[in-house]
Amino acid sequence: MASNEESQDFTLKAEKAEKEIERLQAEIDLLSDPAQLKKEGLVSPDLEKLRVENQKLKFQLKHLKQSLVEEQKRGAGRNFSLDIRGIIEDIFALAIYRAFPEVPNPTILVMPSSKFADYQCNSAMSIAQQLGSITGQKKNPREVAQAIVKELPETEYFEKIDIAGPGFINITLKQEFVLREVAFLLTQGVKPPKTDKKRVVIDYSSPNIAKEMHVGHLRSTIIGDGLARLLEWVGHDVLRLNHLGDWGTQFGMLIAHLVDKFPKLLEERPNISDLQAFYKESKARFDTDEVFKRRAYDCVVKLQAKDPFYYKAWKIIYDISMEETYKLYKRLKVSDQLIERGESFYQDRMVAVVKELQDLGRIEKDEEGRMVMPVGGFSVPLMVVKSDGGYTYDTSDLACIKQRLLEENGDWLLYVVDSGQSNHLETVFKAAHELGWADKSKHRIEHVAFGLVLGEDK
Ligand code: ARG
């Protein structure tokens, strides 16, 4: 039991504290009411300082809350490996926001260090520049680095932080922390980080059948299958699509040629090497013989109209080519989840898309009678309908991106295609945004480009 004297002392203290709270509350009320402040004659440079201080506190609060969430995720019972660089980045981001709230979007640059430490933060140099352009005064990057280090929160991760050269911040990790993570790796294996599950549509391999597959398709197959596995392992819902070139001019050429050279096509299946020889012959005729060329285009139009003879001939060639393709997939252990969804799949959708574009007034006729769709920022429009009425690679990719966004509900679309097609794909992506199918805030659409492999003839 407290003595009489002690309890009196408590009462006094409590009263004093209550008074202090009242006073602070009045002050806060006053500060948050600019009109009242003016009346009191209190608008002064101090107010500006308070505003900045307030801004700073808000920043801090936001980032503290964020790191708290991260911290909880990293905490006990966790069943995934840590992204150590990501953690360091978060911690430095916090320190940078604290030290320089006036810099909008500061560069947060953390990377593994080769010699003197485990990681290094190289933000000071660019922040010094940003500060320079804000204040008009040059800032010394070393001082910037010092200010960042001063604001680093207390954590369990760092053994040593020091500043080197013009303002590199060297970061050495605590041994216990590294040990713990290594032990986790050894006992549990590599576990993917927590992710927001996304519906990923990935377009890869995508050879042009009836022609021989070339090394670019091989690259697309390998990179695409690897990416698909990785994204699935991380926890995404992955749809693998093989955008086969199965509806274009090559079939027109080949069918026109087969009509002359292999008229029993519908009864007697040619084998793949015959087919490849026929393809070469038809290509040579196509390139040199104008009359044949027109016949070939005519065949494409008939095929796209699904004329029964042409459609049957197409199906036979398709099946023979795919048998070959699957032999290769088997050798490469390509996922059997890769779905055949070539240009032919989009035929009806292409008809609908062309109509949609016409209704929207997005199509123009050019001087050669082709229907084109101009796309903002691109000098070459998309060619939607050729003068003979046939559809093109552009038409199928328009119908295809719409299908992936609005029917497959893809959040993230990946196109694993050689860099030679980057202009084509970027134009299609832009068109999808202009047409309202894609939404920047919802969809991530990317060309996963890889270099062209040139033949000896370059
Ligand atoms: N078949 C095309 C080619 O070989 C690649 C298709 C890539 N995918 C796409 N949606 N365009 O050039």
What is the domain-level CATH number for residue 95? Answer: 3.30.1360.70
Q: Is 205 in the pocket of ligand 1 (CB under 6 A)?
A: no
Contact 48, 31 (CB under 8 A): no
Task: Provide the domain count of the chain.
Answer: 3
Same domain flag for 232 and 358: yes
pLDDT at position 34 is: 62
Q: Determine the average pLDDT of the residues in 32-44.
A: 65
- pLDDT value at 346 more than 80: yes
User: Which two tokens mark 140?
Assistant: 């010394």
C-alpha 178/C-alpha 173 separation (Å) is: 7
Q: Are strands 158-164 and 119-121 parallel, antiparallel or unpaired?
A: unpaired
The tens digit of pLDDT for each residue in 393-406 reads 999 999 999 999 99
Residue 50 belongs to domain spanning: 43-77
Same domain flag for 259 and 290: yes
Q: Residue 336's domain is classified under what CATH number?
A: 3.40.50.620
pLDDT at position 372 is: 98
Q: Name which residue sits closest to atom 11 of ligand 1, judged by CA.
A: 397
Considering 188, 211, 238, which residue would you say is the last residue of a domain? Answer: 188
Q: Write out the H or E segment, with its range, that includes residue 131.
A: helix 123-135
Same domain flag for 184 and 214: no
Which residue's structure tokens are 């290594």? 182
- pLDDT value at 7 more than 80: no
| Torsion 444-450-451-455 (CA) sign | negative
- pLDDT value at 199 more than 70: yes
C-alpha 429/C-alpha 416 separation (Å) is: 14
Which residue's structure tokens are 């090559």? 250
C-alpha 345/C-alpha 242 separation (Å) is: 11
pLDDT at position 12 is: 66
Report if residue 419 sits inside a domain.
yes
Q: Which residue has the higher pLDDT, 339 or 154?
A: 339
Same domain flag for 159 and 120: yes
The tens digit of pLDDT for each residue in 209-265 reads 888 788 899 999 999 999 999 999 999 999 999 999 999 889 999 999 999 999 888
pLDDT at position 265 is: 87
**Residue 294, CA atoms < 13 Å, CB-side half-sphere:** 2
- pLDDT value at 1 more than 50: no
Same domain flag for 420 and 296: yes
Q: Name which residue sits closest to atom 8 of ligand 1, judged by CA.
A: 243
Q: Determine the average pLDDT of the residues in 55-64.
A: 74
Report if residue 317 sits inside a domain.
yes
Mean pLDDT of the chain: 89
Q: Is 415 in the pocket of ligand 1 (CB under 6 A)?
A: yes
C-alpha 78/C-alpha 183 separation (Å) is: 13
- Which of the four pLDDT bands, split at 50, 70 and 90, describes residue 191? confident
C-alpha 32/C-alpha 25 separation (Å) is: 11
Taking the CA of residue 401 as reference, the ligand 1 atom at the shortest distance is: 10
For residue 418, report the distance from its CA to the centre of ligand 1, in Å. Answer: 9
Same domain flag for 180 and 203: no
For residue 245, report the distance from its CA to the centre of ligand 1, in Å. Answer: 7
Same domain flag for 226 and 332: yes
Same domain flag for 156 and 304: no
